[in-house]
Amino acid sequence: MRVALFVPCYIDQLYPHVAVATLELLESLGCTVAFPLDQTCCGQPMANAGFEHVSAKAMSVFIDNFDLYDYIVAPSGSCVLHVHEHIKAPDSSRPFSDRVFEFCQFLMDVLEVKELPGSFNQKVGLHESCHGLRGLRLGVSSELRKTPYSKPAHLLSMKKGVELVPLTRWDECCGFGGTFAVSEEAVSVKMGKDRIQDHLDHEVEVLTSTDMSCLMHLDGLIKKERIPLKVMHIAEVLNG
């Protein structure tokens, strides 16, 4: 299966190992992966800040790079949701919402993965990101009052050695929210610390998520407070 890897700009610049882990696992599961070299930011930061018109060129570049691919996969739920809601493919093409997938969504819904290679012997806490959970519906959030289900959690349960630790407020926002973390710094920090404390209270060793942006926020707080808690993107855990 031929897949195009969409690597969000902040992952490319700050967390390239997350992109490598995504690539390696996709290839180990039988995918032939292409990486369009001219890809840039998809335009999400500008659109989220209320300046979608400024991101028009970025969205045009995205179309130029990815329109010919049947499957496009990214290790970032927030970027995938932006593409679904803001980037429109040419009339002759399938909508991007039909072919752009968050990494875990692709493993579950397209590849229909039943087992994963290797092992990861750690106690893992899963942070369910707002964009992934409430935007892409990677799971069922608590306010819906339905039987809980999570695609990322299901994948983690397949990984040999992983002890997935139940959290008290498993679907609560971490407080990042892009520019929210800048405009409402104090609130953002308090929300992030609350999420970290939930993991600490349950003796989690590795905090993971489908969104590296959430993890960037949480990891900043963890490092500032010198908290003994490791942060890893879920692609790294599943590829471990």
Read off the pLDDT of residues 71-126 as tens digits, 9 standing for 90 and up: 999 999 999 999 999 999 998 899 999 999 999 999 999 999 999 999 999 999 99
Nearest to 78 by CA among 219, 209, 223, 195: 209
- Place 181 in a pLDDT band, splitting at 50, 70 and 90: confident
- Of the pLDDT bands very low, low, confident and very high (cuts 50, 70, 90), residue 132 is very high
**pTM more than 0.95:** no
Q: Which of 214, 196, 218 is nearest to 11 (CA)?
A: 214
The predicted structure's pLDDT at residue 177? 86
pLDDT of residue 179: 81
Determine the Cα–Cα distance for residues 89 and 143; give it in Å rounded to an integer.
33
10 Å Cβ neighbour count for 82?
25
Burial class (CB in 10 A: 0-12, 13-18, 19+), 146: exposed
Confidence of residue 159 (pLDDT cuts 50, 70, 90): very high
Average pLDDT value for residue range 228-238? 98
Output the CA–CA distances (angstroms, integers) from residue 174 to 65, 181, 197, 218, in the order listed: 32, 10, 11, 7
Q: What would the two tokens of residue 189 be?
A: 């920090």
- Tell me the C-alpha distance between 147 and 141, whole Å: 9
Among residues of the chain, what percentage have pLDDT more than 70? 100
**What pLDDT score was predicted for residue 58?**
92
